[in-house]
Every structure is written in structure tokens, then in C-alpha cells.
Homo-oligomer: A and B are copies of this chain.
Amino acid sequence: MDASLLTVQPAAPEPIYRQIVEQLRRLIAGGQLAAGDSLPSVRDVAGFHAINPMTVSRAYGIAESEGLLERQRGKGMVVAGTHKTTQAASHRLALLEPQLQALVRQTRELELPAEPVLRRLTKLLGE
């Protein structure tokens, strides 16, 4: 499993460990990480992104306590078996709902009409 699977933005306001947890949630929901897949080791991820191993370990630990990952003693972390298949698109879309609602609120605060926002998003999604 490749450490480059995860992306990390150390400068973002969102803490690194949470960035990782949330990416894992989406990658598993989307099926890019399937049940049984093993994850890059804590040390690999930390080395690749030049962050502290403990930060990665913390993310993995939270993901484990959420039931996303399982620890295989001595071998590393794997995607938990409960997530047998890629989740339905409707369920995956639901994971974006909070972000979509925030976007709508902000669009309104900016008094922007819907069209330019949708046009811009269409363009970005198409690239």
C-alpha cells in the first residue's frame, strides 16, 4: 500500500490527524480502499509527508476506534471487514451534505446567484 494514497496539508487549519481520518472515511466509502486492504505503515506515511509518526498513529487509532480499520498485531492496519463493499452512491453523497450546505449558506451571504457557482464547480469537477 502506497503512502501517497493519503494527502496532507500541514498548513491547513484542520489538524493533520483529522485530515487523515476523514480521507480514510471517504476512500473506504468510495471503495478505493476495500475490506482487507492493508494500509501504508505509520512510518511510511510519516516519512513520505514529513510529519511525526505519532500524528499518523493517532489518526489510525481514531479510525480503528470508529471501526474503519482493524489492527493486525505485528502486521499493521487493514481496512475492517465490516465495510464489505463500496457504499451506495446515495450514501456517499450524504457524506458531502454538510459541505454542500455550508457552500449554499456562503453563496447566499455573498448574494451570488446559483449559476456562476454551479458553472465553476462543473468546470473543476470536469478537469
Q: Please, which residues of chain B bring their CB within 8 A of the CB of A100? A: 103, 117, 120-121, 124
Establish whether residues A26 and B110, one from each chain, have CB atoms under 8 Å apart when the complex forms. yes
Question: CA–CA, A93 to B111, complex, Å?
Answer: 10
Question: CA–CA, A32 to B108, complex, Å?
Answer: 10
Q: Helix, strand, loop or mixed for chain A's interface? A: helix
A121 CB, nearest partner CB in chain B, Å: 6
> Number of residues in A with C-beta < 8 Å to the partner?
49
Instruction: Check if A52 is an interface residue, CB within 8 A of chain B.
Output: yes
Q: Which residues of A contact B (CB under 8 A)?
A: 7, 10, 13-14, 16, 23, 26-27, 29-32, 52, 62, 65, 73-74, 86, 89-90, 92-93, 95-97, 99-107, 109-114, 116-118, 120-122, 124-126
For the complex with contacts A86-B111, A93-B116, 10 further pairs of A-B residues with Cβ separation under 8 Å are A7-B105, A32-B111, A99-B103, A99-B106, A100-B103, A104-B124, A114-B122, A114-B125, A117-B121, A118-B118
